[in-house]
Amino acid sequence: SDMSGMSGGSSNSASMPQTRTGLLIPSEFEDVMADPDVFVMNVHVPAAESRLDGTDLEMPYNKIDPELIPVDRSTPLAVYCRSGSMSADAVEQLRALGYTNIAELDGGTNAWRASGRSLSDTASN
């Protein structure tokens, strides 16, 4: 299959790609997660209900612990939960802590699965 039409606008700049922030659809969120510099957080409670491969940290959305997150506030974060409501809450707290580069999975892992993507094998159904 021809994938050439799939990329959303190609830029020829050789500089660092700017990480997408804000609410991202699954394909965009997947791209962000693929960046090794991005710190991926599952904030769903319980975490096992919605787990994506490549997650760096599982932390309850209502118990955001700055000690466990990279101390550099410009670190790109990718935050998700199951439906998007817990992650919205977590993102607010992270912004309040001073994090500026946050991608959030719009619709959570429900939307991820609806897009045909799979959860981690360790996620419960």
**pLDDT, tens digit (0-9, with 9 covering 90-100), for 42-82:** 999 999 999 999 999 999 999 999 999 999 999 999 999 99
Indicate if the pLDDT at residue 18 is higher than 70: no
Is the per-residue pLDDT at 25 higher than 60? yes
pLDDT at position 63, please? Answer: 95
Mapped onto helix, strand or coil, the DSSP state of residue 80 is: strand
User: If DSSP codes are grouped into helix, strand and coil, which group holds residue 100?
Assistant: coil
User: Is 88 exposed, middle or buried, given 0-12, 13-18 or 19+ CB atoms closer than 10 A?
Assistant: middle
C-alpha to C-alpha distances, 84 to 15, 16, 68, 69, 111, nearest whole angstrom: 32, 28, 22, 20, 9
For residue 121, name the pLDDT band (cuts at 50, 70, 90). Answer: confident
Q: What is the mean pLDDT of residues 91-108?
A: 97
Work out the average pLDDT over 94-117: 97
Please report which helix (H) or strand (E) contains residue 103, including its range.
Answer: strand 102-105
